Chains A and B, each alone.
Chain A
Amino acid sequence: MIAFNSFIILLAAFLVVFMQSAVNGVLGTQIDLLPALMVYTSLTAGPVMIAALALCSGLWFDSLSANPLGISVLPLLAIGFIILIRRELILRDQSYAQFVIGSTASLGAPLVTLGLLLTSGREPIVGWGTVWQLALMTIIGGAATPVFAKLFGFITHTFDYRTVSSTSFRSDREIRRGRN
């Protein structure tokens, strides 16, 4: 079932990147849903899955963009890692907690990417309009995180094996009746 979950998350990342490059942006902004997906993954999966998602989705994103190849991997990995080491303290089942973490990640990922681009000597299109783009990405990314959680929860529930209910019967406490 872990393999199935991993497949579903990677498939979702693939489709998210495709949608971002096939559809025109909202109000002058291309919405990046990968940080939201990474938040969901880091709240529910292990480090190997986080690493796989960061690598695959970051490379897919960069391959369709003019970004230097691999630059989107690092912010996604950082988000996944930070949440992973603190996730026992997070109310991961609560929608508002998911929203807050998703918003923070959706703001942090593009900021880190921009920082990496600027420090590597690139000249991205940045201006006052970028503030608006970041704000929109933060809100939509935050809203997308609980949606991802609900969606993947539904898919997992649908395809997962039914949980076997445990009984109170214990064989070592069985009272043996008979002549012996």
Chain B
Amino acid sequence: MFKKKRYIALAIVALVALVLLNLPANTSARLRLAISSPFVPLFGLSSVSQNVAGSTADLALSKSELIRQNNQLRAEIAQLKIQQAQSAEQVRENARLRQFVNWQTTRPWQMKLARVVVRDPANWWSTVQIDVGSQHGIKVNMTVVTPAGLIGRVSAVGTYRSQVTLLGDPNCKVAAVVLNGAGEAGVIGNASPLDRSMVELGYLPPTASLKPNQDVVTSGLGGIFPRGIPIGKVVDSRQVEFGIATEARVKLSASLGAVDEVWVILQ
């Protein structure tokens, strides 16, 4: 059967697949972006249609609803202004104290807004692609957040698009700390295949006293994620590895399944 000329096509494709699997990482990444480029117009079209649908839904809002939302936003702005004044004073105080002890001042983050254009079609990874790339100053390992909290890191960069590996993916481990007074530190690991909003917090000390609803934030260790970014809240905890460590389940603050716009921290 293999003598037949036409079956050579199957053999060639198998050979091509094997060659592609063994390509160097850089070449593979470039090839990946080239192969996915025919999808770009479709994703643009999809984004435009979403915007049109959103605008149409806005038109259907009644005037009374708009007035109610406007009043609510005004109240929130007033509250935020008070908080901003308070935090500005704290920033000044912080800067004064840092000067006294000669500590380096932390610079405010520079951020770049990006839109999610592609979700991973495979079930065993948790990644998305965003519409900014090296042209916009994006680099590998930059932190990606939403207003709700951390969502992941940039894992590959193209000229106009980048891949973001989300929390819960085995390729996105985050050093985290529980805000419970003791400051117990661990590592955010894998998510459940079905519920991507729940991740494991492992490598905690066996004596860790974790309670539900305690906040989990980035610890700043590891050199990738800045310190203090909200990750989520503790759901429950249990002893693992015959009692030599504690593992907790953490409900993520950011909704990974519904994320449409993200911020990439440039510096």
Q: Which residues of A contact B (CB under 8 A)?
A: 14, 17-18, 20-22, 24-25, 28-30, 32, 46-48, 50-52, 54-55, 58-71, 73-74, 77, 80-81, 85, 110, 113-114, 117, 120, 123-130, 132-133, 137
Contact = CB atoms under 8 A, between A and B. Distances in A.
Contacts of B38: 14, 60
Contact of B46 (A22, A50, A58, A85): A22
22 contacts: A18-B42, A18-B43, A21-B119, A22-B118, A28-B196, A30-B120, A50-B10, A52-B13, A54-B13, A60-B36, A60-B38, A62-B32, A65-B125, A66-B155, A66-B171, A68-B28, A69-B31, A69-B32, A74-B17, A114-B124, A125-B191, A127-B192
Contacts, number: 158
A51 B9 contact: yes
Contact of A69 (B7, B23, B169, B196): B23
Instruction: Tell me what chain A mostly uses at the interface: helix, strand, loop, or mixed.
Output: helix
Contacts of B85: none
A174 to B, nearest CB: 40
A65 B129 CA distance: 9
Interface of B: 1, 6-7, 9-10, 12-14, 16-21, 23, 28, 31-33, 35-36, 38-39, 42-43, 46, 118-127, 129, 155, 163, 165, 168-171, 190-196, 257
Please name the 3 residue pairs, one residue from A and one from B, whose CB atoms are nearest each other, closest first. Answer: A70-B20, A124-B124, A129-B193
Which among B6, B9, B19, B170 has the highest number of chain A CB atoms within 10 Å?
B9
Contact of A64 (B129, B165, B196): B129
A69 B21 contact: yes
Contact of A17 (B12, B121, B127): B121
Contact of B17 (A32, A52, A55): A55
B9 A125 contact: no
